[in-house]
Structure 1
Amino acid sequence: MTVALMWEARAVSGRGGELLAWARAQPLDGTPLRREILRAPQDRVLFITWWDADYDAELPELPEPDGDLVMRAVHRWRFESVAAH
C-alpha cells in the first residue's frame, strides 16, 4: 500500500521563504518513495511524502517549526492511494 503524508504550514507574513528553506533542510528518518515541497500564496508551504507502508504505520513526519516562524499550528493529513495513473 502507498501512504501519503501531507504537512502544511503558514508562515508569518513575509517569511514564506524562510519556512520553505526550513522545510527543505529537515531530515527524515528513512527514505520515502517520493518527496515533494510546494508553496502557495499567503506564505504557505506544503510538504508531501509517499511511503510503501500500511496506513497506520509509524512514519517520520516534519516537526512543528519554531513558533515565531508560523502563524498557526501545522496541519497534517494522511491518505492511502486507491488509484494511480
Structure 2
Amino acid sequence: MTVALMWEARAAGGRGADLLAWVREQPLAGEPLRRETFRAPQDRVLVITWWDAPYDAQLPELPEPGPELVTRAVHRWRFEAVADH
C-alpha cells in the first residue's frame, strides 16, 4: 500500500522564503518513496511524502517549525492510494 503524508504551513509575514529553506533542510528518519515540496500564495509551503507502508504505520514526519516562522500550527493529513478504474 502507498501512503501519502501531507504537511502544510503558512509562513509568518514576509518569511515565506525562510520557511521554504527551513523545510528543505529537514531530514526524515527514513527514506520515502518520493518527497515533493510546493509553495503557494500567502507564503504557504506544502510537503508531500509517499511511503510503502500500511495506512496506520508509524512514519517519520516533518517537525513543527519555530513560532517565528509560522502563523499557525502545521496542518497534517494522511491519505492512502486507491486503484484507478
Q: Deviations over 1:21-60 (max 9, x none)?
A: 0000000011100000000000000000000000000000
1:24 is paired with a residue whose SS is helix
Within-5 A mapping of 1:4-83: 4-83=4-83
In 1, distance between residues paired with 2:66 and 2:48?
Answer: 20
Q: How much is the aligned-residue C-alpha RMSD, in angstroms?
A: 0.8
Length, aligned pairs only: 84
Unmatched segments (≥5 aa) in structure 2: none
In 1, distance between residues paired with 2:52 and 2:83?
Answer: 14
**Percent identity for Structure 1 against Structure 2:** 77
Unmatched segments (≥5 aa) in structure 1: none
In 1, distance between residues paired with 2:26 and 2:55?
Answer: 23
C-alpha deviation, 1:83, in angstroms? 2.7
Question: 4+ residue runs of structure 1 moved beyond 6 angstroms?
Answer: none
In 2, distance between residues paired with 1:28 and 1:10?
Answer: 20
TM-score scaled to structure 2, two decimals?
0.96
